[in-house]
Amino acid sequence: MNEAAPISAPERLAALDIASQLCSRLCHDLLSPVGALSNGLELLADERDPEMRKRCFELLEQSARASADKLKFFRLAFGAAGGFGEAIPASEPQALIAALLGNGRIELGWNIAPESLPKPAVKVLLNFALIAIEALVRGGRLDIAVEQAGRTCEIAVRAGGPRIAFDATVGRALEGELVPSELSSRTAPAAMLHQLATAIGGTLQYAMTGDALVLGAMLPVG
């Protein structure tokens, strides 16, 4: 009996493993605002000073908003985007990315020609933005552009700033070269994007310079 050809390490990245790591990522990112909600409620229960109670309510409101913003973001970035049709208004990912930036440490530039985008394009766009934001450890500028020519949607995301921190394993995940031992909550979004792009016949690429990270995608439409 002929032995089956060995399966390469990148091919053994199971969808279930990626989904598990995405869940870990979601829980990690929600831990801080949800924990702040819990702490705020405990402080509020024991606080009697009107000014301090007012401050507690303000902190609770901020934490609740941050939790809701992240849930909305990850719903589209990682999930099936239930409640939307096959196309999603371009204003939706723009609002989600702006909310994720929050404190203004990163300036956002936005240039999207289509009024609506296919779900796969929105998923790629949001995860590119997430990767780019993580790379801007000292702040900077995030530029996002999307064009549609015929049956092709082109996405470009550029992160520019005084220091770019880009994990090489994330790059390998985008290229489909990640080995199972390198799969983590940090690399899972990029691994998911590679599988998504491959499944629909699209391509992903990235480039690093001293002061910028550029992420690009070419995706078929329809």
Q: Quick one: angle between helices 50-77 and 91-101, nearest 10?
A: 130
Contact 101, 70 (CB under 8 A): no
Q: How far apart are CA 61 and CA 70, in angstroms?
A: 14
pLDDT digits (tens, 9 = 90+) for 170-205: 999 999 999 999 999 999 999 999 999 999 999 999
Residue 13 is predicted with a pLDDT of: 77
| Rounded-to-integer distance, Cα 11 and Cα 178, Å | 9
| In the predicted structure, residue 150 carries a pLDDT above the cut 60 | yes
Q: What are 85-97's pLDDT values in tens digits?
A: 778 999 999 999 9
Domains in the chain, please, with CATH? Answer: 10-220 (3.30.565.10)
For 152-176, write each residue's pLDDT tens digit: 999 999 999 998 999 999 999 999 9
User: At 66, which amino acid appears?
Assistant: A
pTM of the model: 0.88
Tell me what pLDDT residue 204 has.
98
Closest CA to 189 of 79, 99, 81: 79
Token pair, residue 207, equals 């480039």
What dihedral angle (degrees, nearest 10) is formed by the CA atoms of 17, 18, 21, 27?
-120
